[in-house]
Amino acid sequence: MAENAGGDKLVYFLIGAGIGAVTALLFAPKAGAELRADIADRTRRGLDQAKDTGREIGERASEYYQTGVDRASELAARGKETVTELASRGREAVEDLTSRGKEAVERQKSQLAAAVEAGKQGYREAKQADKASAAFDEN
């Protein structure tokens, strides 16, 4: 009986393997060629989906880039306007100060001219007074 036990195990093993193979064939959803075709099809769909996703990401990146360019252009234009406005205000301030300075110089010039003329007039009067005094003393 001990010799027969090893053979029995082999028989049971072969019967179990046969039943497993039959069960696998009965429950296998597709043949090998069909399974490979399905794998290839799903792989193609996955690649197509990856390409579509990549294209969408590229389009979004392009939109974000364009938005950034537009925003930068807008900010640059605003900055240019601000600089132009400030430069104009600066020019106006310089012109105003220059005008005021010229007016002050003209006032000082006329005051100085009046003072010089008053000094000359005072000198002439003093000279005439001295001549008159000298002529009076001679008489």
For residue range 58-76, what is the model confidence (pLDDT) as tens digits? 999 999 999 999 999 999 9
- Would you say the pTM of this structure is higher than 0.75? no
74-83 pLDDT tens trace? 999 999 999 9
Q: Is residue 82 part of a domain?
A: yes
Domain of 51, in residue numbers: 30-138
What is the predicted pLDDT for the residue at 1? 44
Structural domains of the chain, count: 1
Q: Which residues of the chain have pLDDT under 70?
A: 1-7, 25-26, 28-31, 35, 39, 136-139
> Which residue blocks in the chain are alpha helix, DSSP H?
2-27, 32-138
Q: Is residue 87 part of a domain?
A: yes
Q: Is residue 93 part of a domain?
A: yes
Q: In which residue are the tokens 């001219």 written?
A: 113
Tokens encoding 47:
């690649």
Beta carbons within 8 Å of 32's beta carbon, 6+ residues apart: none
Q: Is residue 5 part of a domain?
A: no
31: left (phi over 0), alpha (psi -120 to 50) or beta: beta
Q: Is residue 117 part of a domain?
A: yes
Q: Is residue 122 part of a domain?
A: yes
The three-state secondary structure class of 28 is coil
